[in-house]
Amino acid sequence: MTRPPLPLAQINALSPEAFAEHFAGVLEHSPHYAEWVGAQRPFASVEDLAAAFAAAASADRPEAQLALIRAHPDLAGKAALAGEVTAESASEQASAGLGRLSSEEYAEFHRINAAYHARFNFPYVVCVRENTKETIFEGARRRLTHTPDEERRAALHEIGRIARLRVLDLVQATE
């Protein structure tokens, strides 16, 4: 569900429950982070708010970080094709053209997704809104050479980038 953007002053004044509801979709299937970030208010800027989501994920226990990474869908995967991803993920994947792939491109994504799961036991996570399908493919091939620890850090970095853009969508720009 897309929510209308609110001014930062109003966000800082929301009840804890309303804040958590407004930002529940910032980190994939992980609304508890919105509760944690909401407790840190007030925020001086939207960038501070966005950074708080990235910091929450980075500061969490390794098991929770893996759960957050695993909450992300495979790019152009079966869940995306079946419409079983969050509205945020569906929109983001469509923005990079992942909903309009050729059969060869779908097959390549399935090979990449399978290789990722086999090597890291989690999906390839990338901020698709900041990429094209070509750079997504190139990045996946390059990141398959990472160690598991390097790739966990890379995935968390990308999750922070995704969170930033999702927060920007939920906060009204100042004039």
For range 7-35, the mean pLDDT:
96
Residue 77 has pLDDT above 90, yes or no: no
Please enumerate in sequence order all residues whose Cβ is within 8 A of that of 36, keeping only pairs 6 or more positions apart, or say none: 56
Q: Which two tokens stand for residue 11?
A: 């966000």
Separation CA 113–CA 110 (nearest Å):
5
Residue 73 has pLDDT above 50, yes or no: yes
**113-165 per-position pLDDT tens digit:** 999 999 999 999 999 899 988 899 999 999 999 999 999 999 999 999 999 99
Task: Enumerate the H helices of the chain as residue ranges.
Answer: 8-13, 16-22, 32-38, 46-59, 62-70, 78-81, 87-95, 103-120, 133-143, 148-170
Q: Which pLDDT score is estimated for 19?
A: 98
Which are the catalytic amino acids?
72
Token pair 């958590």 is found at 20
Mean pLDDT of the residues in the chain: 89
Residue 5 has pLDDT above 60, yes or no: yes
Q: Which two tokens stand for residue 34?
A: 């919105």
Residue 1's pLDDT band (cuts 50, 70, 90):
low
Separation CA 172–CA 6 (nearest Å):
5
What fold characterizes domain 67-166? Answer: UraD-like (1.10.3330)
Task: Enumerate the H helices of 23-100 as residue ranges.
Answer: 32-38, 46-59, 62-70, 78-81, 87-95
The model's pTM is 0.88
Domain spans of the chain, in order of start: 8-61, 67-166
Q: Do the Cβ atoms of 171 and 46 come closer than 8 Å?
A: yes
